[in-house]
C-alpha cells in the first residue's frame, strides 16, 4: 500500500517508513521508557529487530499501514500506524515517539492525522488501542484525539514475566 505524505504542521509530517530509517529507529528505541510502555518493542533494540519489523510490515501491506513521523528536515522521530487491518471494519493503532520529542503535541497530531486517513482512505469504521494501565501519556494522547475508554482488560498481556492490565480505547466513525 503506497502511503501518502501527510503534512501535520510546518515542523512535522508523516511519510512511508523506509529501510534507510533503520539507524534512527534503533537509536530511539534503545530507550527504556519507550520499552516499558510498549508490548512488542524489545529492549535493547537491535538492527535485526528493525529488519524483522520492516519485513513484517512490508510482507502484508494489506494488514499493516505504517508511517514514519518526520521532522522538518525529514529525519524520522517516531512511528505511527495500523496493524491487523480488517478492510471496511477496524484496525489497531500503535505508535511511539523519540523521547526528545515528548510533550510537544507531536504524537497527538500524528494520531489525529493517521486516524483521519484510516477513516477516509482505508474505509475503517473503528480504530482501537490497548494501553498499559500505567501509561498515562498514551492515555492522554488517545483522549485528546477523541478515543473513548471502553474498558479494562485484567491481566491481558504478559511483559517481563508479569501480567499487566490494559485499557481499551476506541474511536468510531
Taking only the tens place, the pLDDT of each residue in 73-85 is 999 999 999 988 8
> What's the pLDDT tens digit per position in 11-37?
999 999 999 999 999 999 999 999 999
> What's the pLDDT tens digit per position in 25-75?
999 999 999 999 999 999 999 999 999 999 888 876 678 889 999 999 999
**Rounded to an integer, what distance in angstroms lies between the CA atom of residue 108 and that of residue 142?**
7
Distance, CA of 106 to chain centre: 12
The boundaries of the domain holding residue 136 are 6-172
Domain annotation covers residue 1: no
The CATH number of residue 77's host domain is 3.40.630.30
pLDDT at residue 61, rounded to an integer: 65
Please state whether beta strands 126-132 and 76-86 pair in parallel, antiparallel, or not at all (unpaired): unpaired
Domain annotation covers residue 27: yes
pTM of the predicted model as reported, rounded to 2 decimal places = 0.92
Domain annotation covers residue 77: yes
Amino acid at each position: 500500500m503506497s502511503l501518502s505524505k501527510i503534512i501535520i504542521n510546518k515542523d512535522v509530517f508523516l511519510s512511508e517508513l523506509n529501510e534507510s530509517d533503520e539507524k534512527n529507529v534503533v537509536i530511539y528505541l534503545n530507550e527504556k521508557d519507550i520499552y516499558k510502555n510498549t508490548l512488542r518493542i524489545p529492549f535493547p533494540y537491535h538492527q535485526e529487530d528493525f529488519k524483522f519489523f520492516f519485513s513484517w510490515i512490508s510482507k502484508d501491506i494489506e494488514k499493516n499501514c505504517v508511517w514514519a513521523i518526520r521532522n522538518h528536515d525529514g529525519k524520522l522521530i517516531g512511528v505511527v500506524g495500523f496493524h491487523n487491518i480488517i478492510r471496511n471494519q477496524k484496525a489497531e493503532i500503535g505508535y511511539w515517539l523519540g523521547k526528545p520529542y515528548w510533550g510537544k503535541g507531536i504524537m497527538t497530531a500524528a494520531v489525529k492525522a493517521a486516524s483521519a486517513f484510516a477513516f477516509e482512505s482505508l474505509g475503517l469504521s473503528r480504530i482501537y488501542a490497548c494501553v498499559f494501565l500505567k501509561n498515562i501519556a498514551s492515555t492522554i494522547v488517545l483522549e485528546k484525539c477523541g478515543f473513548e475508554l471502553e474498558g479494562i482488560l485484567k491481566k491481558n498481556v504478559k511483559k517481563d514475566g508479569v501480567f499487566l492490565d490494559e485499557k481499551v480505547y476506541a474511536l468510531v466513525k
